[in-house]
Amino acid sequence: GAVVSQHPSRVICKSGTSVKIECRSLDFQATTMFWYRQFPKKSLMLMATSNEGSKATYEQGVEKDKFLINHASLTLSTLTVTSAHPEDSSFYICSAREFLPRDRSTDTQYFGPGTRLTVL
């Protein structure tokens, strides 16, 4: 299957600083990428959808000024957590949908390995 990478895999930062997480589709082009967040023992929650070259669409309750998303190319999306606070500590997971489906059916979302953010 298609491969999605994330960097960094783990980050610890001080309260008030900003953290950037990169998401790359390694062997396919992704017009659409998604960012999810997951708290311990909970399911994934969709934060936003980003399309290459346009502004991201945020889910209700997600602050767009706090979680800046940039989808600059067909293989790269970034999530910047601005002025991070301890309550932003979470597991952030990106996902990419392939531009040209490899098979006869619908597009498939592939997920990155996740980034664990700890804000002290």
Partner 1 sequence: DAKTTQPPSMDCAEGRAANLPCNHSTISGNEYVYWYRQIHSQGPQYIIHGLKNNETNEMASLIITEDRKSSTLILPHATLRDTAVYYCIANSGNTPLVFGKGTRLSVIA
**Residues within the interface to partner 1 (CB under 8 A):** 1, 4, 6, 34, 36, 43-46, 49, 91, 93, 95, 105-114, 116
> Which CB atom, from 88 or from 114, has the smaller least distance to partner 1?
114
117: its two tokens: 């953010």
Write a three-state SS string for the chain.
CCCEEEECCEEEECCCCCEEEEEEECCCCCCEEEEEEECCCCCCEEEEEEECCCCCEECCCCCCCCEEEEEEECCEEEEEECCCCHHHCEEEEEEEECCCCCCCCCCCEEECCCEEEEEC
> Which CB atom, from 29 or from 108, has the smaller least distance to partner 1?
108
Closest contact distance (angstroms) between CB of 64 and partner 1 is: 16
> Which CB atom, from 46 or from 72, has the smaller least distance to partner 1?
46
Closest contact distance (angstroms) between CB of 33 and partner 1 is: 10
Closest contact distance (angstroms) between CB of 63 and partner 1 is: 18
> Which CB atom, from 81 or from 93, has the smaller least distance to partner 1?
93
